[in-house]
Structure 1
Amino acid sequence: MNFMKIYPSTLQGKINIPASKSLCHRAIIAAGLANGRSVIDNVSFSDDIIASCNGMKALGADILIEKASATINGTKFLNSVESIIDCKESGSTLRFLIPIALLTSNEITFTGKGRLGSRPLTPYYSIFNEQNIKYSSNTGLPLTIKGTLKPGEYKLPGNISSQFITGLMFALPLLEGDSKITITTALESKGYIDLTLSLLKKYSINIENRNYSEFYIKGNQSYKACDYRVEGDFSQAAFWLVGGVLGGEVQCEDINIDSLQGDKVILDIIKNMGGNIAIKKNKITAINSKTRGITIDASNCPDLVPILSVLAAVSSGTTRIINAQRLRIKESDRLKAMTMELSKLGADIAETSDGLIIHGKHNLKGGIVNSWNDHRIAMALAIASIKCTEPLILENFDVIKKSYPEFYKDFITLGGNVYEWSMG
């Protein structure tokens, strides 16, 4: 077991924000489906992104990984060169690649680890049954599939995960006939669908968005190779923006203020809570501020909830986080995780069925907390140390490799004071 002792300190300075994980996944997959050579620049090779690279290699793409870029020779005609795709703990990799694998007609088995096997795949099971696609799965992973997607109408719920919709958007344009995706419930996480549609367009794939209730997809389209630079990730910038508001002054650089990322709403949320945010071109600065509680609808920004719960715990008044029930099926039950771990630090926080109620305090007290094997929980708790009166000891701290391998290095660069050790 590994531990990190984090001493209370003020974060201050400038930091380059790592590339958007959501866009890295999408660009690597689109380039892998294009006939020709694409260079994807400014890539952060976290465990999740490496899983997508390896998955596309298994499906026939040639990918050369360098320090911060990937040179991809795509394959217009998919031909799986491996029968097993290990998705590690990446839900995006699994849900994006399943429909693509069904373009090959080969038998392919998807594997993974951690809680990935328990995350829902029900929308795909319904499609398999409707289209007579063979699949074998006890409950989750490993999942073995064999069959071919057919053009037509696909009905999907919008309140489980937008990743199912994105997965189909990658595959359906390559079928010989036209298709339509019909959303059967209110669509949550619209920002992720916007990212998908925008990225696909760069690779010459066009999908008609009919007010987010239907998506019309012409068949016989072709991905065209395209060089692409990935913009900075607002979901990762959120940790430093909250760190600046709670501590000193943190400037996040290399971030697109005109981004389609749904997590860009972090700027509005912090401002609405009274936080001081300054924006200049591709630089966003968060300045130490007194913040207050508000009601936060997390339906379109669930990944922000862990760090927002930290901010709320030390903001005056009461914060209510609502419409966040999907957080219970992430890498951990994030509502339960943040409730239990922040409570250990002295926060006044309680779960509801779909969110959190947090009564803010001036400070937290420090103590021993656990990451729940969840990268966003680990990073949020590290930021919480800023407002602790005693050191915070974080158990299983290195899970950040899943999405942000350089997090603690950047934390130290901004003035964070840490000591790590392992036991047994």
Structure 2
Amino acid sequence: MGASKIGSYPCEEIVVDIVVQKSEKIFGELDVPPSKLYTQFATALALLAEGKSTLKQPLRTKDTLAILRAVENMGATVKRTQEQLSIWGVGRSLRPTGNVIDVKNSATGIAMMTAIAALSPRVSVITGDAQLRARPMPHLLKVLNNMGLKAYSTKPDDSPPLVVLGGDVRGGRISVRGMNPSLIPALLIPCPYAKKKVEFLSCGDSLQLNLALDVMKAANVKVSVGKKLSIPNQPYRPFNLRVPSDLSAAAPFVVAAVLTDSKLKLNGTDLASDRGAVLLNILKKIDVKVEVSNKFVLVRGPQQPRGTKLDLSLTPELLPIVAVLAAMAKGRTTISGASEARTMKSDRISAIAHGLRKMGVKISERKDGLIVEGQAKIKGGEVDGCNDHAVVAALVTAGLFADDKTIVRNRAEALQTSYSRFISAFQELGAHVGYAE
């Protein structure tokens, strides 16, 4: 089979179940998708930077499109081309075109737009789809109100829709102890326009926070980092940025290549930094060898991973696909540090445990992870994707190793939120994956 080259994931419709057949190999090249959080955060900052900002190689998925439409609804002008977003921001002069902002399925989007709406002169309602409206957000609302924002849930369990009364951000010293690290970047967004300097306590260190600070620096806001985060009162300025690749988003392809007679080259930028570095460290710990440079990663298979202890506290979102790799490793793998995975688009710990158990894997849940017995003989059948792109992607990958046909049900189109060309990318690499007729 000749090598194939796959582009950077324009959106495609996924509206049916996914059918997977055993695949002996994948072969070719894959452009690693751009970072979703980087795309979302930079889009939000561009709204508050008065003038034209550009974002090259943005990720194009339902989640990133939702926040792009949200900033348009707040008064930004957006021009889209195949390779770039141009966003004309309005600074503090937000001009909402309506009262309701719909971020669809994006928890990051609802956090960012709720924080931004505090700077609006009008009352705003921030909502999402049915899945997002079922997710309580008490920590987010508590911290936002401690900052002086007036943000409230319309329901007793603190789930969306959220109502934000326009006005100002008070600022001051704010503790974010116990806050989901993925939501902390949203809290930073309105701070340069607060009445007094904002200082965040108990932030800890996270990949999401480091990413946010890099983008803020590019937008003329340099945050002082130490025992506390100190955010100066100075406006955002327009910026020109290229979105880095996110190697962790290609983890299912890496796992598929490792466990089959394959050769896969993953192309991108800054592949060995941040989340990519964490994925590479996971592979090293489980005894998988890959060739790494900053612009490509080369994976050859088959390899025999070895069970070990893995701490996923930096990337709990990777738990489903790491569980698939562990199921094929020699020996037992214990996954810990991933308690946040229970409160993502699904309870990912329970969802992947249920799916893999149905496929013949000996797997048990922990409060913060999983215990997986390796060298499983994967069997096909029908499994539940739980309307969660990470669970769907992991179960599709597991199906490549099953002797029988695997059908992934329950809104496999959830892949649209983060991984728009997941299925066609696998097909072009030679995997036997497709949509149910």
TM class, shorter-length = over 0.9
Provide the residue aligned with 1:55 in structure 2: 70
Q: Check if 1:135 corresponds to 2:152.
A: yes
- What are the equivalent positions in structure 2 for 1:65-76 lying under 5 Å apart? 65-76=80-91
Q: Check if 1:360 corresponds to 2:380.
A: no
Distance 1:156 1:109 in 2: 24
Q: Which of 171, 182, 197 matches 2:201?
A: 182
CA contact (8 A) 2:272 2:280 kept: no
The amino acid of 2:268's aligned partner reads D
Describe the SS at the equivalent of 2:364. Answer: strand
Deviates more, 1:61-70 or 1:332-341: 61-70
CA contact (8 A) 2:346 2:388 kept: yes
CA contact (8 A) 1:48 1:88 kept: yes
Distance 1:145 1:98 in 2: 7
The amino acid of 2:60's aligned partner reads F
Provide the residue aligned with 1:152 in structure 2: 172
Distance 1:268 1:376 in 2: 20
Q: Which of 402, 405, 415 matches 1:388?
A: 402
Describe the SS at the equivalent of 1:168. Answer: helix
Distance 1:378 1:68 in 2: 28
Instruction: Report deviation, 1:281.
Output: 3.6
The amino acid of 2:230's aligned partner reads Y
Distance 1:60 1:132 in 2: 20
Provide the residue aligned with 2:360 in structure 1: 346
CA contact (8 A) 2:171 2:195 kept: yes
The amino acid of 2:172's aligned partner reads G
Distance 1:402 1:293 in 2: 31
Instruction: Report deviation, 1:196.
Output: 0.4
The amino acid of 2:193's aligned partner reads L
The amino acid of 1:401's aligned partner reads Q
Instruction: Report deviation, 1:98.
Output: 1.2
Provide the residue aligned with 2:209 in structure 1: 193
Describe the SS at the equivalent of 1:380. Answer: helix
Distance 2:240 2:140 in 1: 31
Q: Which of 417, 420, 423 matches 2:435?
A: 420
- What are the equivalent positions in structure 2 for 1:243-258 lying under 5 Å apart? 243-247=256-260, 248-258=262-272
Q: Check if 1:287 corresponds to 2:300.
A: yes
Q: Check if 1:203 corresponds to 2:219.
A: yes
Distance 2:143 2:268 in 1: 40
CA contact (8 A) 2:198 2:232 kept: yes
Describe the SS at the equivalent of 1:372. Answer: coil
Describe the SS at the equivalent of 1:88. Answer: coil
Provide the residue aligned with 1:115 in structure 2: 131
The amino acid of 2:124's aligned partner reads I
Instruction: Report deviation, 1:232.
Output: 1.1
CA contact (8 A) 2:171 2:191 kept: yes
Q: How many residues align?
A: 414
Q: Aligned residues: percent identity?
A: 26
Distance 1:28 1:47 in 2: 14
Residues 257-311 of structure 1 show CA distances to partners (whole Å, capped at 9, x for unaligned) of: 353x335311111111111210134000122111011111111111111110000
CA contact (8 A) 2:278 2:314 kept: no
Query: Cα distance 1:34–1:99, how it changes in 2: closer, same or farther (>3 A)?
Result: same
Query: Cα distance 1:106–1:263, how it changes in 2: closer, same or farther (>3 A)?
Result: farther
- What are the equivalent positions in structure 2 for 1:8-407 lying under 5 Å apart? 8-9=22-23, 10-77=25-92, 78-127=94-143, 129-130=145-146, 131=148, 133=150, 135-138=152-155, 139=157, 140-147=159-166, 148-157=168-177, 159-183=178-202, 187=204, 190-210=206-226, 213-219=227-233, 221-247=234-260, 248-259=262-273, 261-288=274-301, 289-395=303-409, 396-407=411-422
CA contact (8 A) 2:73 2:96 kept: yes
Deviates more, 1:361-370 or 1:394-403: 361-370
Distance 2:38 2:405 in 1: 36
Query: Cα distance 1:132–1:403, how it changes in 2: closer, same or farther (>3 A)?
Result: closer
RMSD of aligned residue pairs (Cα, Å): 1.8
Residues 120-157 of structure 1 show CA distances to partners (whole Å, capped at 9, x for unaligned) of: 42233324554372634213111111043212111112
Query: Cα distance 1:28–1:128, how it changes in 2: closer, same or farther (>3 A)?
Result: closer
Describe the SS at the equivalent of 2:304. Answer: coil
Query: Cα distance 1:103–1:317, how it changes in 2: closer, same or farther (>3 A)?
Result: same
Instruction: Report deviation, 1:65.
Output: 2.4
Distance 1:124 1:217 in 2: 19
Distance 1:379 1:199 in 2: 29
> What's the TM-score, normalizing by structure 2?
0.90
Instruction: Report deviation, 1:253.
Output: 0.4
Instruction: Report deviation, 1:118.
Output: 3.2
Deviates more, 1:124-133 or 1:321-330: 124-133
Instruction: Report deviation, 1:160.
Output: 3.6
Query: Cα distance 1:136–1:377, how it changes in 2: closer, same or farther (>3 A)?
Result: closer
Runs of 5+ in structure 2 lacking a partner? 1-14
Distance 1:29 1:353 in 2: 34
CA contact (8 A) 1:94 1:110 kept: yes
CA contact (8 A) 1:235 1:303 kept: no
